[in-house]
């Protein structure tokens, strides 16, 4: 894949990372939490982790709208932060139920994801401020 050509949200590293992390959470962390967390961590952790790649994908569809795209990236950052805090709760409260090393790795992964989302938003700000190329109609060319 050419790193400079982003044709789809699937080409974004932050999407790939967040999608993979959400799958790991759903398969390896959530099922091991105690039933007493059914209405809290077992419910909210999968929601917030799945929301990150979904928001990136949805925002990418609005990439032509600067504020539309940025709203989704902001929301994805908020969900990534929420996921990270929930993983810290899992680690600190339920160490006997879950794989602590995996949980620590996921906490670090969501730190990276949050930073990538922030950089994506900054880069999009710069990109969206670039002058638009002139079309043939604007340059006065005749076809």
Instruction: Determine the CATH number of domain 9-127.
Output: 1.20.1440.60
Which of helix, strand or coil describes residue 97?
coil
Two tokens, residue 68: 């539309």
SS3 content of the chain, % helix, strand, coil (to 5): 75, 0, 25
DSSP 8-state symbol, 61: T
Question: Does the structure show a pLDDT above 80 at 15?
Answer: yes
Check residue 121 and give its pLDDT.
87
d(CA 54, CA 110): 15
Check residue 30 and give its pLDDT.
97
Q: How far is CA 100 from CA 31, 124, 133, 137, in A?
A: 14, 36, 51, 61
Check residue 75 and give its pLDDT.
97
Q: Where are the domains of the chain?
A: 9-127
DSSP 8-state symbol, 27: I
Contact 120, 74 (CB under 8 A): no
Q: What is the pLDDT of residues 89-136, one digit of tens each?
A: 999 999 999 999 999 999 999 999 999 999 998 887 776 554 555 555
Average pLDDT of the residues in 4-27: 93
Which of helix, strand or coil describes residue 85?
helix
What proportion of the chain, given as a percentage, has pLDDT over 70? 85
Q: What is the pLDDT of residues 52-101, one digit of tens each?
A: 999 999 999 988 877 888 899 999 999 999 999 999 999 999 999 999 99
Two tokens, residue 43: 């419910």
Q: Indicate left, alpha or beta for 100 from its phi (over 0: left) and psi (-120 to 50: alpha).
A: alpha
Question: Does the structure show a pLDDT above 50 at 143?
Answer: no
Check residue 1 and give its pLDDT.
45
């Amino acid at each position: 894949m050419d790193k400079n050509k982003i044709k789809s949200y699937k080409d974004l590293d932050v999407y790939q990372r967040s999608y993979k992390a959400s799958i790991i959470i759903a398969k390896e962390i959530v099922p091991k939490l105690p039933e007493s967390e059914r209405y809290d961590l077992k419910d909210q952790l999968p929601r917030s982790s799945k929301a990150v790649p979904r928001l990136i994908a949805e925002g990418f569809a609005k990439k032509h709208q600067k504020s539309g795209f940025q709203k989704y990236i902001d929301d994805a950052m908020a969900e990534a932060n929420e996921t990270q805090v929930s993983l810290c709760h899992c680690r600190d409260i339920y160490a006997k139920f879950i794989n602590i090393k995996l949980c620590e790795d996921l906490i670090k992964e969501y730190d990276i994801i949050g930073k990538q989302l922030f950089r994506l938003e900054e880069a999009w700000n710069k990109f969206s401020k670039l002058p638009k190329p002139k079309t043939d109609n604007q340059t006065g060319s005749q076809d």
